[in-house]
Structure 1
Amino acid sequence: MPRPPRSPAPAPRRHAHGGEGQVRIIGGRWRNTRLPVPYAEGLRPTSDRVRETLFNWLMPKLPGARVLDLFAGSGALGLEAVSRGAASAQLVERDPALVAALRDVVVRLDAAAQVQVAAGDALRWLETAPAQQADIVFVDPPFADGMWAQVFERLPRHLAADAWLYVEAPSGAVPRVPAGWSLHREGGTRDVGYALYRRAAATLRDDLNATPSA
């Protein structure tokens, strides 16, 4: 008697970014390292294309930088920064499965001396954690939560005087940053818009230093 046909195996759950549960570090000493991406509602790791653009912009600022990645997710932004020369990264993530995956990656990369993973809500962390004096901050929250303004309000005590701020949001809807930031570069894809800012006082200081003496 012929066997009944097998039922097809269930397709892997596709994440919001359209991938199958992995992203990769695209540059630096950990280049091509695969990062697991457990399913989490609203998770949308920054694409290779956008990250390549961002880190081209940041390249001169990465060596020795202290990085704060507030909605770490897969860790693609914070770990990419350390891979390319940042001195340290503080990753903040509230989803337990993602936190576990991040900690596993840190162990696998032998990166505990440079990369710290904090489990918890980013807004609460900003209110209660010791001041960081971060040189580069990544703000890429779940879009549906709309937390950009609340992050911006709580961020200043964690910033170095000449900090850089990366913001990602839905295409055409990058939020307005508070006074005190100067737009450096911006771009977009069909799905996301992104922008890199610098603290305006640092930008003004650089402009004044570049002005020839009379």
Structure 2
Amino acid sequence: MKRGEKRSSKSSVTVSSKPSGTVRIISGRFRGRKLPVLDVQGLRPTTDKNREMLFSWLMPYTLDARCLDAFAGSGGLGFEALSRYGKSCTFIELHKNAAKQVAENIQLLDLSAQQAQIIQGDTLETLNHLSQAYELIFLDPPFNQNLLPQTIQRIDKNGLLSIDGVIYIECEGQGVSYSVPGNWQLIKEKRSTQILARVYQRNS
């Protein structure tokens, strides 16, 4: 889902400023809704199959959760969480047109400012200015940009993951190295040659 100007978001070069596809919400109150997705180089919405797997993992943690979709791209993960009765979601996206499309999709779903907000800007910089902790965080950064170490460090340093909160991390299946704080416990993992997907929970 991503690519970046300052090398910390999901998208880089817009091939077109018009929607060229859709992302389908799988379950919940917006089940079956299709949201427009821009044709942006490097933007790779998580597949239906992977989102279904992920949200089966996250079922105990989504209800009433304050969510952060830190490299939003299409916003598919954040919108799926809101559909499954997450309390709110903050989306961060560097690419201007992709962020605008997320904003339009927020309106399309008739979500209030308290339920969903989009921040257009550099993820690493934005993480230094967020003022609340989140129960559910999605980290699906651009591949091949080595963004995870700094992103994880800033989330931990700024206390952005609440106690008992969960964080989903998706990255390349091979050649990626990152570490997490000692109080983040790995609770789910799926590995393939293309993708490594993990869910951690922060212990007290």
**Coarse TM-score class (shorter-chain normalised):** 0.7 to 0.9
| C-alpha distance 43-174 of structure 1, shift in aligned 2 (>3 A) | farther
How many Å apart are 1:178 and its aligned residue?
A: 2.8
Are the counterparts in 1 of residues 23 and 37 from structure 2 also a CA contact under 8 Å?
yes
Q: C-alpha distance in 2, partners of 1:87/1:169?
A: 26
Is the CA contact 1:26–1:80 (under 8 Å) kept in the aligned structure 2? yes
| Counterpart selection for 2:202 from 191, 199, 202 | 199
> 2:189 is matched with which residue: 186, 189, 193?
186
Please state if 1:40 is matched with 2:16: no
User: Matched residues in 1 for 2:145 and 2:54: separation?
Assistant: 23
Q: Give the deviation of 1:65 after TM superposition.
A: 0.6
User: Could you say which residue in structure 2 is the equivalent of 1:125?
Assistant: 126
Tell me how far apart the structure 2 counterparts of residues 192 and 136 of structure 1 sit (CA, whole Å).
20
CA RMSD of superposed structures (Å): 1.7
- Rate the CA distance shift 1:164–1:174 in 2: closer, same or farther, 3 A: farther
Query: Match of 1:121, as an amino acid?
Result: D
- What is the total number of aligned residue pairs between the two structures? 183
- Higher gyration radius (CA): 1
Gaps of 5+ in 2: 1-14
Closer/same/farther in 2, CA of residues 127 and 64 from structure 1, 3 Å limit: same
Aligned equivalents of 2:35, 2:195: Cα separation in 1:
21
Q: Secondary structure at the match of 2:40?
A: coil
Does structure 1 retain, via aligned residues, the 8 Å contact 2:88–2:115? Answer: yes
| Corresponding position: 1:96 with 2:112 | no
Residues 143-194 of structure 1, C-alpha deviation per residue, up to 9 Å, x if partnerless? 1222000101110221211110100001144633232210001113442110
**8 Å contact kept, 1:133–1:160:** yes
Contact residue 171 and residue 188 of structure 1 kept, 8 A: yes
Using the TM superposition, name which of 27-36 and 187-196 deviates more.
Answer: 187-196
Q: Rate the CA distance shift 1:22–1:188 in 2: closer, same or farther, 3 A.
A: farther
What's the counterpart of residue 3 of structure 2? none
Give 1:206's aligned residue: none
Q: Which of the pair is proportionally richer in helix?
A: 1
Greater RCO, CA 8 A, separation 6+: 2
Identity level (%): 38
SS of residue paired to 1:145: coil
* Greater strand content: 2
State the SS of the aligned residue for 2:43.
Answer: coil
Please state how far the C-alpha of 1:200 moved relative to its aligned partner.
3.0
Question: 2:115 matched to which residue of 1?
Answer: 114
Shift in alpha-carbon separation, 1:45–1:122, aligned structure 2, 3 A: same
Residue 164 of structure 2 is matched in structure 1 by: 162
Task: Name the CA distance, whole Å, in 2 between partners of 1:174 and 1:196.
Answer: 16
Superposed CA offset, 1:7-33 (max 9, x none): xxxxxx7xxxxxx62211111111111
Which runs of structure 2 are paired with 1:20-59 in the superposition (5 Å)? 21-59=21-59
SS in 2 for 1:51: helix
* TM-score between both structures, scaled by the size of structure 2: 0.84
Match of 1:134 in 2: 134
Aligned partner letter, 1:144: N
